[in-house]
Amino acid sequence: MTATASTASTASMDVLFELFDGLPRQGPGSNAATRRAWDLLGAVPPRPTVLDIGCGSGMQTLELARLMGDGRIIAMDIHQPYLDILHRRATAERLDGIIETVNCSMDAMTFAPGTFDVIWSEGAIYLIGFEQGLAIGQRLLKPGGYLVVSEITWFTAAPSPELVQFWHDEQIDIRTEEENVQRIDRAGYQCLAHFRLPQEAWWDDFYLLLEQKIAPLPRKYRDDPERLAVVNNQQREIDLYRAYAHQYGYVFYMMQRQVS
C-alpha cells in the first residue's frame, strides 16, 4: 500500500506485486462501504459513465457495476495482471459489457474534459496526492458530476509521533477529516457526506490475508536487503494499524462538482 511507482525501484515493486497478487483487494475497503458510498450520491444519471482510478483487481468495480445495472465503467490500473483478473470476473458475472479495463497511470490520462458522470477511487488517490486528485476530478467530471474517494485520514489532531514518522517516510500527506473537507470546498466541490471505514474493512479482505503472504518472505529474502526491507515495511504498516487504529484510517468522501 505504501510504495508508489515513482518512488519504488523495480525490485521493490516486484515484491509489492508478489504480496498483493491474489488478494481480493489491494487496499482497505468492503462491498458494504462501496454500496454505502454509492447510496449517498443521490441522483446519479441513468446509464452513467464512471471512471474507477486505481481499480486493482476490481472488487469495488464489480460492485459498482452491480449497483448501476447499466452504463459504462472504465477501470484503470497500471498492473495488467489485476486488469486481467477483473476482466475474467466481469465476464463470469456477465458484467463485461459494462466494464472496460485500461492500463494507464493516473498522470498519463488523456480523457476529454467533462467525460464522466462519476469518478471513483478507493485507496489510490494518495499516489498522486489528494489535491491533485481533486483537480483531476474538476477537469474530467461533467458539471454536477460526482467524485468519490477513500483517503487515509487522521482521526485525531495529535497522532502518535511513531505514526507521523512512518507515514512521513512513506511520503504520504495525511490530514484530518476537517482539513480534507476544507480542501474539497476550496477545490469547487460540495462535500455531500463522509464516513470512516470500519476496522474490519482493513482486516477481512486485506491485512489478515496480506500477513499470511508476508510470513514466509523474510526467510526467502534474508540475503536480499532491498526486498527484505519492503517485506518488513509492509509488516510494520500492519503492526502500526493494529496498535493505532483509533488514530487513523480510511475515510470515504462523497462530493459533487459544483455547476458554475
**DSSP result, 74-105:** EEEES-HHHHHHHHHHHHHTT-TTTEEEEE--
d(CA 249, CA 33): 14
d(CA 55, CA 53): 5
Predicted confidence (pLDDT) per residue in 83-97, tens digit: 999 999 999 999 999
pLDDT beyond 60 at 189: yes
Query: Which of 49-53, 108-112, 125-129, 217-221 is predicted with the least confidence, judged by mean pLDDT?
Result: 125-129
CB of 16 within 8 A of CB of 8?
A: yes
CB of 70 within 8 A of CB of 95?
A: no
Mean pLDDT, residues 15-25 taken together? 92
Q: Of all helices (H) and strands (E), which one includes residue 38? A: helix 31-39
- The β-bridge partners of 101 are 75
Write down the pTM of the prediction: 0.93
Place of cell 471513483: 120
For the four alpha carbons of 65, 1, 25 and 90, in that order, the dihedral sign comes to positive
CB of 232 within 8 A of CB of 165?
A: no
Confidence tier at 63 by pLDDT (50, 70, 90): very high
Predicted confidence (pLDDT) per residue in 215-227, tens digit: 999 999 999 999 9
Q: Are strands 141-154 and 116-122 parallel, antiparallel or unpaired?
A: parallel
Domain ranges of the chain: 10-257
CB of 142 within 8 A of CB of 114?
A: yes
d(CA 188, CA 203): 34
CB of 169 within 8 A of CB of 177?
A: no
Give the model's pLDDT for residue 8.
60
d(CA 173, CA 128): 10
Mean pLDDT, residues 198-210 taken together? 96
Share of the chain above pLDDT 90, in %: 89
Domain 10-257, classified CATH 3.30.70.580, yes or no:
no
Place of cell 474534459: 113
Give the model's pLDDT for residue 5.
42
d(CA 253, CA 255): 6
Mean pLDDT, residues 143-160 taken together? 97
pLDDT beyond 80 at 136: yes
